[in-house]
Amino acid sequence: MNNEETEVGSPGAPEGGSEPADEPDEPDEPDEPDEPDEPDEPDEPDEEVAPVLQDGSAAGGRSIRRRVVYALVRAVVVLAIAAVGYQAVIPSVHVIRTRLARLVVSKPGVAAYNAAKPQSGAQDDTQTGLAAVTAAAKRSPNQTGVYTTGWSASQSSGVAIGAFLLPNDAAAVAALPQLRTQQLAATSYSSASLTRRSTYTLADVPGLSGSVYTPSSKSAAAMPGLVVAAFRYGRVVVEVEAVTSTNTQADANMVARVEYASLRRVEPGFSLTEVYRPPEATALWAAGAVSLAAVMALGPVARRRRAQRRLRRFEEEMARRVVVGKQVISKHRR
């Protein structure tokens, strides 16, 4: 007899191993009202964008420095042009020929003549007989001049200094031998019955050449002797003369020493011209130059800032606009 096995299912389970029947659906809960949408938060920059922004800020710093440099260059160029224009238009040059007196000492340094009243004055620089001086007077009249001063202790004794101002050292170098040929030659004073007896130099005065003249005949023995010396310092050629019966050469040498010492102080930077700059015109020119330089330096910067402000306002206006359908709604700031 066959034994039949019977599967015992779980209580309530349908026979035949079928799945349990579906449970009844629960009633739906009422929908909650939708919450208002929160405004979108601005997107944060991605991590990968950060280096780009940093590089951009560095580039912006370099751009600012470059603009500052360009502004300074523009200002400097304007000021340089203004300075050149000022020198060409505003100043005026005055020639003061009385300054020639500074080239000759006021006292010759010899006691017998220091108290004497000097006879001084400027001479015609085109009538000296020296070719270098005449040419310089025609070529550079404002830089050429002749001035002489003499002191007399009596009718037969006296000393004198003649100063020849030349435009440059080269002209003075050319004039010195011409003066020696004219005034220190053996026959320079033969018409005055004077004969050159000797020549000499003086260590205290570099480049000095001197000639000693004495009466050439017994009939002229009562005439005083003459000593003539010439030297150059810078642009000035000097002639010294001494006419005395005694100590003629000593007097001439003393006068030459005093004049040489004076020229060492006076000749460097000496000029017959004076530049006059009217203060009112100078102030107006300077104010105009500074104003123009400021405009050239800061004008492009101001225009760039105005353009940036306009661009910012445009971007802000566009950011406040919202497109709904086909309508554009602008959000006004409160």
Average pLDDT, the chain: 81
User: Which range of residues forms the domain containing residue 72?
Assistant: 57-91+277-319
Sign (positive or negative) of CA dihedral 266, 269, 274, 277: negative
- Name the pTM for this structure: 0.62
SS (H, E, C) 104-125: CCCCCCCHHHHCCCCEEEEECC
Report pLDDT digits (tens) over 30-76.
555 555 555 455 455 444 444 444 455 566 567 777 777 877 888 88
Within a domain: 36? no
**pLDDT of 122-165, one tens digit each?**
999 999 999 999 999 999 999 999 999 999 988 889 999 999 99
292-304 residue pLDDT tens:
888 877 777 667 7
Instruction: Identify whether residues 269 and 281 lie together within a single domain.
Output: no
Task: Work out the pLDDT band at 27, boundaries 50, 70, 90.
Answer: low
In-domain check, residue 263? yes
CATH number, domain containing residue 180:
3.40.1000.70
Calculate the CA dihedral of residues 18, 20, 21, 25 and round it to 10 degrees. Answer: -150
Domain membership flag for residue 145: yes
Distances (CA, A) of 37 to 31, 217, 324, 326: 17, 137, 16, 21
- Other C-beta atoms within 10 Å of 56: how many? 10
The number of domains in the chain is 2
Residue 83 sits in the same domain as residue 182: no
Cβ atoms within 10 Å of 261's Cβ, excluding its own? 15
- Region of 149 (left: φ > 0; alpha: ψ -120 to 50; beta: rest) is beta
- Kindly state whether residue 103 falls inside one of the protein's structural domains: yes
Q: Is the model more confident about 168 or about 2? A: 168
